[in-house]
Amino acid sequence: LPHQQRLRADTPPLDDDELDCFKPFDGHKPIYRGCIDTQLKRVLDDIDIHGCEANGENAFFVADLSEVYRQHLRWMRALPRIVPFYAVKCNPDPYVLQLLAALGTGFDCASNGEIEAVLKLGINPARIIYANPCKAASFVRHAATHNVGLTTFDNMDELDKMKRYHPSCKLVVRILTDDSKSACQLGLKFGAPLDSVPRLLQRARELELDVVGVSFHVGSGCYDPDSFRDAVYRARRAFDMGKEAGYTFDLLDIGGGFGHDNFEMVAGVLGPAIDRYFPDDDFAPGGKEVEGKLNGLRIIAEPGRFYVHSAFALATNIIAARRGEPSPVGAIVEAVAPTKPQVMYYQNDGLYGSFNCVIFDHVTVHPKVLTLGFEYAYRPDLEAPGSEDELQPCSVWGPTCDSIDCVRALVHLPKGLKVGDWLVYENMGAYTICAASTFNGIRRSEVRYTLGAGEDAEVVRELMM
């Protein structure tokens, strides 16, 4: 049987009322109800691996929007006082933005392009923080024209720029905090050391600029909750510096860096740290609500990864394999893998595409078997079906002609995998599509959507109508 028919054999067709056809964005497919694995299978069923046109078997993402919704519930449960401003850079998917807009989050934009993507959804510019401390002058003018009135800065030149092109903008001083316990250390590039803050604030005052608060970013992929406690403490010191400079700060922006696995632990440290270093009485004696701000202090955050990491899975097709001969392994493989891979698999998305996260985001990705010998074999709880002696050491490579394009130097996959079979990578929502290139003429992987299943799907559907 052709691969496609075998896959189709046990796939029940969807009823018409299960198809939720929102008006799709250009180039995007309509959204279906069902879990990620149902949707993966649906897409595979439509692919004729032996007869499709060029690009017909392209790698593709499945995004479960209900997972984004659940992450939002998780946020609100753990940090109800802190308003999330989703970091668009992490994954600017239009459906994700639309859902988050409906859920009432704000947006952290880093460029005019991101600002436009958000405004296009009809979002009020008051819900945007332009959280890039080093902006192009033309982007600042663009922000002014579009009434984006809140931004970060961390240096003198930026103050001059703001005075010249957007003098009424409210400013947030981004301070340097300890990012040594994070996968991506943003402090190498951004953040004013505390001892430089008084001079910056003095200059801001001379320029009659309106500095309203303090922000920080503990680094993306932060694995130590104490980094947040320490950063909140430093932010408090910057607040006091603001007072000395004659400002009354009322905005604390605790940035991003929230992971998927340790989120509740981080929240458990953050809450008490904020209570301790920002006691209510300092902001509104008597604990009253002042101008819509609980206790006079408004706290926002810029989570990116937290919202989308687990909502996207990526399916790739094995387009070629090299077996039974010593692998012409390059230096990367030699360095990382003392066990020699016996098979080199080539798949149709790689480091120049969605797997750029291997380089930029310092992650190790984990292929799971989606089809084995053309049979659907995906078990979300298992890396590979079969027993240990049915596995063999392999390497996985991307589709380009560059040898840096190595997705995994060593991974154990079932012996029965064939060219034409599919792999799937879970947790691919953050810092993947957004930085993918089309190097070598390879298209970016497209996204297929699902609303999820059950009650969550209903809520998401309502929100997105």
Residues in touch with ligand PLP (CB under 6 A): 87, 89-90, 108, 131, 186, 217, 220, 255-258, 302-306
Give the shortest CB-215-to-ligand PLP separation in angstroms.
8
Give the shortest CB-222-to-ligand PLP separation in angstroms.
7
C-beta of residue 95 within 8 angstroms of C-beta of residue 74: no
Give the shortest CB-184-to-ligand PLP separation in angstroms.
7
Round to whole Å and give the CA distance between 195 and 149: 27
Which helix (H) or strand (E) segment holds residue 75: the answer is: helix 65-78
Own/partner pairs for 339-343, CB < 8 Å, 24+ apart?
Answer: 339/393, 339/410, 340/393, 341/393, 341/394, 341/395, 341/409, 341/410, 342/392, 342/393, 342/394, 343/392, 343/394, 343/395, 343/413, 343/417
Using the minimum distance from each CB to ligand PLP, give the nearer residue, 22 or 223.
223
Give the shortest CB-327-to-ligand PLP separation in angstroms.
35
β-pair partners for 323:
343
Round to whole Å and give the CA distance between 212 and 302: 17
- Name the nearest CA neighbour of 352 among 432, 459, 238: 432
Using the minimum distance from each CB to ligand PLP, give the nearer residue, 67 or 302.
302
CB count, 10 Å around CB of 377?
A: 20
Take residue 444 and report the two structure tokens written for it. 């970016």
Using the minimum distance from each CB to ligand PLP, give the nearer residue, 255 or 398.
255
Which helix (H) or strand (E) segment holds residue 273: the answer is: helix 263-277
Query: Annotated catalytic, 169?
Result: no
Q: Which member of 109, 184, 401, 406 is catalytic? A: 401
Give the shortest CB-107-to-ligand PLP separation in angstroms.
11
Using the minimum distance from each CB to ligand PLP, give the nearer residue, 106 or 414.
106
Using the minimum distance from each CB to ligand PLP, give the nearer residue, 89 or 229.
89
Round to whole Å and give the CA distance between 139 and 161: 11
Task: Please identify every residue annotated as catalytic.
Answer: 401
